[in-house]
Structure 1
Amino acid sequence: MILKGSQRGGGQDLAAHLMRTDDNEHVRVHELREFASDNLRGAFKEAEAISRGTKCRQYLFSLSFSPPESARVSEAQFEQAIDEAERRLGLDGQPRAVVFHEKEGRLHAHAVWSRIDAATMTARPVPFFKNKLVALSRDLYLDHGWDMPRGIAQAGMRNPTNFTLAEWQQAKRQGQDPRWLKAAVQSSWQASDSGAAFSRALEEHGCFLARGDRRGHVIIDHNGEVHSLSRVLGTKTKDLKARLGDGEALPSVEATRKALGERMTPALKRHVTESREKFGKASALLGDAKAEMTRRHRDGRSKLDQDQKRAWDAETQARAARLPKGLSVIWHRLTGKYQEVRTQNEAEAKASRERQAEERQRLVDRQREERARLQVLFKELRKRQAEELLELRRELGRFFKFSRGLDPGPAQRREISLGLRLER
């Protein structure tokens, strides 16, 4: 599992985030331990109230558990991983909330602990938690026999096309895959040995090198969006300056955007718009199917919860009726009959909880299998869109290069004319 943890405050914001049903298809509060409240907001308010008696501002520790896409992990296995994380982080016995999310057919979990020890009114320290989580993540991959990511198997082997949350959110606003930009920029960087060569290589991908206001060298894509070059490459600023210089000779962001707007002809803009609209319509159809499936699955789980609650209440009443009442309790205690009935009731209650958990797991597994089939269609659509957008960006790069007087040759010129329909 990929484990990501952080110390934080802002319990109400975190509760709102964890309970979002617009971004997740299914959300379920699995556990609220050592909290008086029966809901997430109330539980985090309790943790915040206790923290007011200390100087601790980051009174929560939040940890997410994300298994591989192909893995089928049960809730019991998540619980084992959460318990082990709690032990290694030194948060044993602290108030804890566990929330399960399902998104695109994948189950992942979030665990949140209060760091405040109510007995001593001090915050539990969580030193070196990143190293501890990497070690636990490595053990989980080995225990389950999953293929281990390079960055976990060996430090320093992180996938260079991985991206941060900020990069993902920026790409999501643009409607593009953030991995494309990283791959394009990194390949251009590796294939060039100077600033001029790097700039030309970027233009072949429809990107431009510019001078940022505060971030030094930046990249502007064909949409006019600005990206930090050091962040995209994962390189220090001083290493960039060693190859590219200080960037003072580069055009500013505004000048680059203006030049880009002048070179983006109506035909080019129309071609980009048509591509997005085509895939937007196909995606909307799949989105409608997903929404209907999500509604149906939620209804099925809600009905099961109601049926199980009625069954549990009826069984609890039947077990309570076995226990003696009045003066007969004394006789049953003397003869040991009371303890026998109580032991039988506890065993039946445990068996009932396990049976209901298995029923729920079977329902969830069936629904996830159905959702996985729909997700295959989503992936196929995204793959086709990514391939078409990649080719479109390459054509844009060739056109930008040609429009600056750098003739790419007859064959590519014909491809530009036909692919981008410049004859309109």
Structure 2
Amino acid sequence: MILVASQRGGAKQLGLHLLRTDENEHVEVHEISGFVSEGVVEALKEAQAVAKGTRCKQYLFSVSLNPPETERVDIDVFQNALSRIEGANGLTGQPRVVVFHEKEGRRHCHAVWSRIDAQTMTAKPLPYFKNKLRDLGRELYLEHGWKMPHGFMNSREADPRNFSLAEWQQAKRMGRNARDLKEAIQDCWAVSDSRASFAAALRERGLYLARGDRRGFVAIPVEGEPLAIARSTRQRAKVIAERLGDPQDLPSVEETRRKIARDLTPVVRGYLEEAKTQARREARPLNAARRKLVERHRAARRELKARQMERGKLEAQERAARLRRGILGLWDRLTGRHIHTLERNAQEAEAAKRRDQAERKQVMESQLSERQRLQVKIRTMRVKHHELESAIHREVCDLEKRGAEPLREAFNRHSAKPTRHHAQSPTFEP
């Protein structure tokens, strides 16, 4: 299980993020404990209010628990992992919020603890929490027999295309895929041995080499967002300087944006926009199928919840009716029958709880399987569209050398095979 954590503030923003149903297909508030408030946002704002009595600015500890996508993980496994996270970081007994998300056929968990000890009004220290969570994640992989990522076994073998939250948000603003952008820059680095060859390789992928404001070398896509070369390639500054030299003689970000605006003539922009329109048109049926599927799944869960609540009320009434009152009730207490009835009621209530959990689990797993089958089609479409994106950018690069006519022919050729290529990875609507 991959555990990603951070110390942070921003109670309201985090609470609203955890409850977002536009980016997540299903949101389940599993637990709010140690707080007076019963809502997620209110509970985290309560933690913020307590933290005002201290100097702590990062009063929350947020952890996401991500099991392997193909595994079906019980609630008990998540609960066990949460307890071990608390124990390893000295957070046992601290107020916490636990929320489950489902998206693209994958279920994961978010947990947020208040770091403030209300008795001493101090923040719980979290030394080396990243190392502790990494070790715990490895233990969970081994205990459950899950296939462990190579980067987890050896950090040097970690997938170089992995991206941070900031990189994902930046790619989302451009309507791009963060992993694809990072892979493109790494490919260019791998095939180049000088600044000229690196810049040429970037241009073939629709990226321009420029001087960053604070980050040395950056790559600028046609959307204008600067991508740090050092972060994307995971190379040290010294290695980058040896190959690319001094960035000061490169155009700035703003100058490069103006160059992109000049290079992309109205004709070229028209082809790119038409390709984007084609991508959105081909993705529309899958978007519609996904929305319909999510609505149907949500309705099924609401119906199950209502049915279980109604059944639970009837069963509770039946158990309560066994406890006799008045003289008969006093007699039951004297003879010990009252105690036996209470024990029977408690056993039946626990059995009913396990039954309801099993029903919810069965529905959830069936829905996850159905959603994953649709996600395979969506991923296939994204790959095909990414191929066309790469082809279009290569032709735009060649435009500078050969003129507009080759681009027209290339676009017509790629457009005639929409199942193999695409101009931009489509944004699959939430």
Query: TM-score scaled to structure 2, two decimals?
Result: 0.89
* Distance in 2 between residues matched to 1:30 and 1:278, nearest whole Å: 41
* Distance in 2 between residues matched to 1:115 and 1:326, nearest whole Å: 50
Letter in 1 for 2:206: G
Q: Deviations for 1:12-34, whole angstroms, at most 9, x for unmatched residues?
A: 21111101111111111111122
* Distance in 2 between residues matched to 1:177 and 1:57, nearest whole Å: 33
Change (3 A) 1:60 1:259: closer
Map of 1:241 onto structure 2: 241
Describe how 1:64-79 pairs up with structure 2 within 5 A.
Answer: 64-79=64-79
Letter in 1 for 2:195: G
Map of 1:31 onto structure 2: 31
1:215 pairs with 2:215: yes
Aligned residues of 1:177 and 1:386 also touching (Cα < 8 A): no
1:418 pairs with 2:409: yes
Query: TM-score scaled to structure 1, two decimals?
Result: 0.91
* Distance in 2 between residues matched to 1:304 and 1:179, nearest whole Å: 38
* Distance in 1 between residues matched to 2:174 and 2:337, nearest whole Å: 71
Change (3 A) 1:401 1:93: farther
* Distance in 2 between residues matched to 1:262 and 1:91, nearest whole Å: 56
* Distance in 1 between residues matched to 2:401 and 2:150, nearest whole Å: 37
Q: Which moved more, 1:173-182 or 1:394-403?
A: 394-403
Letter in 2 for 1:204: E
Q: Deviations for 1:253-287, whole angstroms, at most 9, x for unmatched residues?
A: 33333333333233322222222111101222221
Map of 2:124 onto structure 1: 124
Identity of matched residues, % = 46
Q: How much has 1:416 moved relative to structure 2?
A: 5.1
Q: How much has 1:187 moved relative to structure 2?
A: 2.2
Aligned residues of 1:206 and 1:400 also touching (Cα < 8 A): no
Aligned residues of 1:267 and 1:421 also touching (Cα < 8 A): no
Map of 1:350 onto structure 2: 350
Change (3 A) 1:121 1:253: closer
Q: Which moved more, 1:193-202 or 1:298-307?
A: 193-202
Letter in 2 for 1:34: G
Map of 1:41 onto structure 2: 41
Q: How much has 1:417 moved relative to structure 2?
A: 6.0
Aligned residues of 1:151 and 1:158 also touching (Cα < 8 A): yes
Letter in 2 for 1:199: A
Q: How much has 1:136 moved relative to structure 2?
A: 1.1
Map of 1:171 onto structure 2: 171
Map of 1:156 onto structure 2: 156
Map of 2:184 onto structure 1: 184
Letter in 2 for 1:284: R
Map of 1:97 onto structure 2: 97
Q: Deviations for 1:282-335, whole angstroms, at most 9, x for unmatched residues?
A: 222221222222222112111111111111111112111212323544433332
1:284 pairs with 2:284: yes
Q: Deviations for 1:179-234, whole angstroms, at most 9, x for unmatched residues?
A: 23222222222222222222222223232212223322221223433222222222
* Distance in 2 between residues matched to 1:87 and 1:225, nearest whole Å: 42
Describe how 1:348-387 pairs up with structure 2 within 5 A.
Answer: 348-387=348-387
Describe how 1:383-402 pairs up with structure 2 within 5 A.
Answer: 383-400=383-400, 402=402
Q: Which moved more, 1:263-272 or 1:133-142?
A: 263-272
Q: How much has 1:121 moved relative to structure 2?
A: 2.9
* Distance in 2 between residues matched to 1:123 and 1:362, nearest whole Å: 41
3-state DSSP of counterpart to 1:98: strand
Aligned residues of 1:204 and 1:401 also touching (Cα < 8 A): no
Change (3 A) 1:204 1:45: closer
1:82 pairs with 2:87: no
Q: Which moved more, 1:337-346 or 1:361-370?
A: 361-370
3-state DSSP of counterpart to 1:87: helix
Aligned residues of 1:203 and 1:401 also touching (Cα < 8 A): no
Q: Which moved more, 1:40-49 or 1:59-68?
A: 40-49
Map of 1:143 onto structure 2: 143
Q: How much has 1:95 moved relative to structure 2?
A: 1.6
Aligned residues of 1:207 and 1:397 also touching (Cα < 8 A): no
Q: Deviations for 1:128-150, whole angstroms, at most 9, x for unmatched residues?
A: 11001101111122222222222
* Distance in 2 between residues matched to 1:45 and 1:181, nearest whole Å: 37
Q: Which moved more, 1:307-316 or 1:284-293?
A: 284-293
Map of 1:227 onto structure 2: 227
Map of 1:53 onto structure 2: 53
Count of residue pairs brought into register by the alignment: 413
* Distance in 1 between residues matched to 2:57 and 2:208, nearest whole Å: 43
Q: Mark the runs of 5 or more structure 1 residues left unpaired by the alignment.
A: 404-412
Q: Which moved more, 1:211-220 or 1:90-99?
A: 211-220
* Distance in 1 between residues matched to 2:28 and 2:81, nearest whole Å: 18
* Distance in 2 between residues matched to 1:300 and 1:373, nearest whole Å: 18
Map of 1:16 onto structure 2: 16
Aligned residues of 1:203 and 1:400 also touching (Cα < 8 A): no
Q: How much has 1:355 moved relative to structure 2?
A: 0.4
* Distance in 1 between residues matched to 2:327 and 2:36, nearest whole Å: 35
Aligned residues of 1:47 and 1:59 also touching (Cα < 8 A): yes
